[in-house]
């Protein structure tokens, strides 16, 4: 297998570049199906510290196809703020998670906002949740945005959590029209305990979902197994069955994979096939489903997954393909998309066998920039050899 990274530094497009005064982290990516543009989101921070987040920012990417080579590049707009800390009563916005309703053509940008002085470590230790669940919307691909909607009071369960977050990365809309926002919460290890302080909180993945185009939202059951940041995708089998697949961060070892046959209301954890390694203390990863490509179609939809491929540190971002989802034994070997320091990523399917990956990367550290690479299934197939 050829694991060599494709493309040089110049062939990637830098989207957000960090410097001494500002650091960009936590990428989220959405491909607008009508406007045919990419929307890239990130946290703008003063430093690398999570607690220094100031704003959520975005750029719009116009796709440019070369006539001779048929390669696709992206021309990015100027960066602009979409959620400002100053407009949230001193709370910092974090974890951008876009989800799109195709019927109303409304893009929801979910995020959490957290009291400025409360780090995640502080919340987990004391068991005092300072995070709130919020979203804004746009119907013109990000040219204008609504005011912030705060859903926190609709979910009294959050008061019993140490903290929680959405995504980060994209949500999804199922074939039935359900909107799904992946999330995770730190809850008590002992269900009978209401106090979850002093290290008694453990993370579980779940989702928020809506069956009425985002008018009202509900909360699904938490995974039984320890699981942190997650993304979800819908897969269809050859018999017409539909499943929501969840791929979640773990702490060392291997990724947590789970599946739901009721649209994310609850999940069953799949036995680990030890195909998808976790990195050190864990790292976010991205998953997206897409139509089976010509020439081989055991199932009507496949999965694509991105994550650092090292089991010890955040380096060598790879992409894996699964042609028989949700079977955890069916993952391919990775194709190294970015050699060297690599962190969080988010994937989008552009259609016609093309993908975009928004990734944290750098030469010395993975937080030097957020870059984007567009590539094709043909390139991926050639690299992994199947």
DSSP 319-371: EEEESSTT-GGGBPPPEEEEEEEEEEEEEEEEETTEEEEEEEE-SS-TTSEEE
To the query of whether residue 43 is one of the catalytic residues in this protein, the response is no
- Which residue among 360, 366, 368, 369 is the active-site one? 360
- Tell me whether residue 50 is exposed, middle or buried, using C-beta atoms within 10 angstroms of its C-beta: 0 to 12, 13 to 18, 19 or more: middle
Contact 289, 301 (CB under 8 A): yes
- Which residue among 50, 54, 265, 266 is the active-site one? 50
> Strand order in 242-248's β-sheet?
230-236, 242-248, 256-260, 268-269
To the query of whether residue 50 is one of the catalytic residues in this protein, the response is yes
A 10 A CB-CB count for 82 gives 18
Contact 187, 204 (CB under 8 A): yes
What's the rounded Cα separation, in Å, for the pair 172 and 277?
24
Collapse the DSSP code of 106 into the 3-class scheme (helix H, G, I; strand E, B; otherwise coil) and give the result.
strand
To the query of whether residue 360 is one of the catalytic residues in this protein, the response is yes
Contact 247, 235 (CB under 8 A): no
- Which residue among 344, 366, 368, 377 is the active-site one? 344
**Polymer length of the chain:** 386
| Catalytic positions, written as ranges | 50, 344, 360
């Amino acid at each position: 297998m050829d694991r060599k990274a494709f493309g040089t530094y110049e062939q990637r497009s830098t989207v957000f570049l960090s410097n001494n005064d500002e650091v960009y982290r936590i990428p989220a990516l959405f491909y607008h199906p009508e406007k045919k543009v990419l929307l890239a989101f990130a946290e703008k921070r003063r430093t690398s510290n999570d607690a220094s987040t100031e704003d959520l920012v975005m750029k719009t990417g116009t796709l440019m196809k070369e006539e001779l080579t048929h390669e696709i590049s992206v021309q990015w707009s100027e960066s602009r703020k979409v959620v400002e800390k100053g407009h949230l009563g001193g709370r910092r916005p974090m974890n951008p998670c876009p989800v799109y309703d195709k019927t109303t053509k409304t893009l929801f940008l979910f995020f959490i906002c957290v009291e400025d002085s409360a780090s995640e470590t502080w919340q987990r230790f004391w068991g005092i949740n300072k995070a709130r669940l919020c979203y804004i919307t746009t119907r013109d691909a990000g040219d204008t945005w609504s005011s912030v909607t705060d859903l926190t009071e609709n979910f009294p369960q959050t008061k019993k959590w140490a903290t929680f977050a959405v995504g980060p990365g994209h949500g999804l809309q199922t074939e039935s029209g359900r909107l799904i926002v992946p999330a995770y919460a730190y809850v008590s290890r002992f269900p009978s305990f209401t106090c979850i302080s002093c290290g008694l909180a453990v993370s579980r993945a779940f989702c928020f979902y809506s069956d009425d185009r985002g008018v009202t939202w509900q909360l699904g059951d938490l995974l039984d197994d320890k699981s942190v940041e997650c993304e979800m995708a819908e897969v269809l089998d050859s018999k017409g069955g539909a499943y929501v697949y969840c791929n979640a961060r773990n702490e060392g070892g291997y990724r947590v994979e789970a599946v739901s046959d009721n649209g994310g209301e609850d999940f069953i954890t799949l036995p680990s096939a030890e195909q998808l390694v976790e990195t050190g203390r864990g790292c976010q990863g991205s998953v997206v489903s897409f139509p089976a490509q010509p020439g081989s179609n055991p199932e009507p939809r496949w999965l694509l997954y991105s994550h650092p491929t090292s089991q010890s540190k955040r380096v060598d971002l790879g992409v894996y393909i699964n042609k028989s989802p949700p079977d955890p034994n069916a993952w391919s070997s990775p194709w190294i998309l970015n050699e060297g320091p690599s962190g969080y990523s988010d994937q989008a399917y552009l259609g016609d066998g093309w993908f975009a990956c928004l990734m944290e990367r750098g030469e010395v550290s993975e937080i030097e920039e957020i870059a984007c690479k567009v590539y094709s299934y043909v390139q991926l197939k050639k690299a992994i050899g199947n």
